[in-house]
Amino acid sequence: MADLVKEIEKRRTFAIISHPDAGKTTLTEKFLLYGGAINLAGSVKGKATARHAVSDWMEIEKERGISVTSSVLQFNYGGCCVNILDTPGHQDFSEDTYRTLMAADSAVMVIDASKGVEAQTRKLFKVCGMRGIPIFTFFNKMDRDANDTFDLVDEIEKELGIATCPINWPIGSGKGFKGVYDRNEKAVFLYSDTEKGTKEGQVERIELADEDALIAAIGQDAFDKLQEEIELLDGASAEFNQDEVDHGQLSPVFFGSALTNFGVEMFLNYFLQMTSSPLPRVAEGEVIDPMKEPFSAFVFKIQANMNKAHRDRIAFMRICSGKFDAGMEVLHVQGGKQMRLSQPQQMMASDRHIVDEAYAGDIIGVFDPGIFSIGDTVCAPGKKITYEGIPTFAPEHFARVRQMDTMKRKQFVKGINQIAQEGAIQIFQEISAGMEEVIVGVVGVLQFEVLEYRLQNEYNVEIRLEKLPYEHIRWIENPTEIDMDRIIGTSDMKKIVDLKGRPLLLFVNSWSVGMVLDRNENLKLSDFARN
């Protein structure tokens, strides 16, 4: 029992988010270096040829140079067992990001210091906010000319609406980058890029009080500026407050350079100390203690055909409580069936390995014969635990999908259903129509391309997509009280049903929603489907 608590307490599970190109992959790679998980930087993603080695799951990612799918990595460092959840950087996958955040206990937001808050940072941050988890900010690329430091921090506060607390402070940037001042230690750590790609190499430390040595190292001008800024900072910035960090109200801020491996270890050390071990989760109103048995987990992601040679489908689960043993019988709550989880595995860079045991906080991927859905709970038989489902985002783009070759109906139905089950798309049908023609809804338009690509490549089915003008979707909350044929609609309204047969309405114009509500007294509408 004591061992169980010890194991779980050392877990740190976080998601890493950024606007594309801010340096998320480079930073992750350096983390792994410290964890001894890889020997040489570049194993995760080197230049050109080896790009995207980790999440190299779909051709489309390579073609576009974006990370569409997310991966999970684990390493040990400083007495902690760290689980990093990579999130897709592209805006069209905010739903995927949201699900990944559901599995995390905190988030690290990487920002390019020469660019500041970018469009995607804003979007992802909003998603983070919905989760209310601690958010840590890492300003990267300080070895390049960066924006004014106070402006950068201000921008976070104003644009993202979260208070900040700089833990370290940069001295210059670009060619004039001298290092960072650690506000806790009251010491300056001098920049050197000799560590590039390795974890070895000493970082020189000079106490702030040792003025002569500091002036000799960074020059009088930088020294004077630093003194001034420290004074300003101490007077103006929020004090560190762990409770506010825990509630996602205060973001600890760090500066560094992932590429030259400067400030990364400092960040890692502070981060692991400031972020929490696995947080309790709620199942049907009851708070489940992560440190105790029984084992429980929920599915936050389903990924098909990760390995083309095997045509497999992996369900990713976040363990929420207790310990998982590979041989154990578990209950799949939604399916009402007891089973053994097949080939439980963890990801390590580009490899997967089979795990014998895993603890709360860990992520395991299990072979999914097509039974799991996003949000499902799996637990030790005995006590039935049902975690709250993961809400589905309302799709904002719709298209009618037709298969080109009617002989391939079976593959089409299978493919489109499987992709929908993974949560990549949502499928709808016209009331009383068959599966020959379906309406697909997506949160981001790139998902249409992914759908087309995957149906062609994985199921050998060619489709034609015809974009529809609808932008607003409303599920009917009280279908039993409503006669679908009698709804008085507007000219831009369409009646459809989702995969589970729930009726809903599509609208082109947002004002039509209000009009239809006015015209049909008993009608209750909702912009998300209750699970």
C-alpha closest to that of 408 among 370, 466, 455: 455
Q: Work out whether 87 is an interface residue with ligand G4P (CB under 6 A).
A: no
Residues 488-507 that bind ligand G4P (CB under 6 A): none
Spatial contact of 103 and 11, defined as CB atoms under 8 Å apart: no
Those residues with Cβ within 8 angstroms of residue 467's Cβ, 6 or more apart along the chain or in another chain: 397, 398, 399
Q: Work out whether 70 is an interface residue with ligand G4P (CB under 6 A).
A: no
Q: Which of the ranges 18-26, 319-327, 458-466, 479-487 carries the binding residues for ligand G4P, by CB under 6 A?
A: 18-26
Q: Work out whether 97 is an interface residue with ligand G4P (CB under 6 A).
A: no
Please provide residue 423's backbone torsions phi and psi, each rounded to the nearest 5 degrees. 85, 10
173 versus 277: smaller Cβ distance to ligand G4P: 173
203 versus 339: smaller Cβ distance to ligand G4P: 203
361 versus 444: smaller Cβ distance to ligand G4P: 444
Least distance (Å) between residue 92 CB and ligand G4P:
15
Spatial contact of 371 and 418, defined as CB atoms under 8 Å apart: no
Q: Work out whether 175 is an interface residue with ligand G4P (CB under 6 A).
A: no
Binding track, positions 205-244, relative to ligand G4P; x by CB under 6 A:
----------------------------------------
Residue type, 3: D
C-alpha closest to that of 317 among 340, 341, 294, 300: 300
13 versus 257: smaller Cβ distance to ligand G4P: 257
Tokens encoding 448: 């249409």
Q: Work out whether 25 is an interface residue with ligand G4P (CB under 6 A).
A: yes
Binding track, positions 34-53, relative to ligand G4P; x by CB under 6 A:
-------------x------
Identify the H or E element spanning 368. none
Residues 249-278 that bind ligand G4P (CB under 6 A): 257-259
Q: Work out whether 143 is an interface residue with ligand G4P (CB under 6 A).
A: yes
Rg (CA), the chain: 25
Q: From the list 21, 118, 210, 458, which residue makes contact with ligand G4P (rule: CB under 6 A)? A: 21
Work out the number of other CB atoms within 10 angstroms of the CB of residue 202. Answer: 9
Least distance (Å) between residue 68 CB and ligand G4P:
12
Least distance (Å) between residue 38 CB and ligand G4P:
15
Q: Which of the ranges 96-104, 141-149, 157-165, 304-312 carries the binding residues for ligand G4P, by CB under 6 A?
A: 141-149
N- to C-terminal Cα separation, the chain: 35
Q: Which of the ranges 69-77, 138-146, 313-321, 439-447 carries the binding residues for ligand G4P, by CB under 6 A?
A: 138-146
Q: From the list 10, 11, 24, 301, which residue makes contact with ligand G4P (rule: CB under 6 A)? A: 24
Helix (H, G, I), strand (E, B) or coil at 199: coil
Q: Work out whether 18 is an interface residue with ligand G4P (CB under 6 A).
A: yes
Those residues with Cβ within 8 angstroms of residue 191's Cβ, 6 or more apart along the chain or in another chain: 142, 143, 171, 177, 178, 179, 180, 257, 260, 262
CA distances from 324 to 3, 79, 360, 380 (A): 14, 21, 8, 9
DSSP 351: E
Those residues with Cβ within 8 angstroms of residue 140's Cβ, 6 or more apart along the chain or in another chain: 22, 23, 26, 27, 110, 111, 112, 113, 256, 257, 258
29 versus 362: smaller Cβ distance to ligand G4P: 29
The residue count for binding ligand G4P (CB under 6 A) is 17
Least distance (Å) between residue 96 CB and ligand G4P:
16
Q: From the list 15, 22, 347, 493, which residue makes contact with ligand G4P (rule: CB under 6 A)? A: 22
Spatial contact of 116 and 152, defined as CB atoms under 8 Å apart: yes
Q: Work out whether 83 is an interface residue with ligand G4P (CB under 6 A).
A: no
Calpha distance 8→5 (Å, rounded) = 5
Q: From the list 8, 23, 345, 454, which residue makes contact with ligand G4P (rule: CB under 6 A)? A: 23
Work out the number of other CB atoms within 10 angstroms of the CB of residue 468. Answer: 16
47 versus 486: smaller Cβ distance to ligand G4P: 47
114 versus 509: smaller Cβ distance to ligand G4P: 114
- Which parts of this chain interact with ligand G4P (CB under 6 A)? 18, 20-26, 47, 89, 140-141, 143-144, 257-259
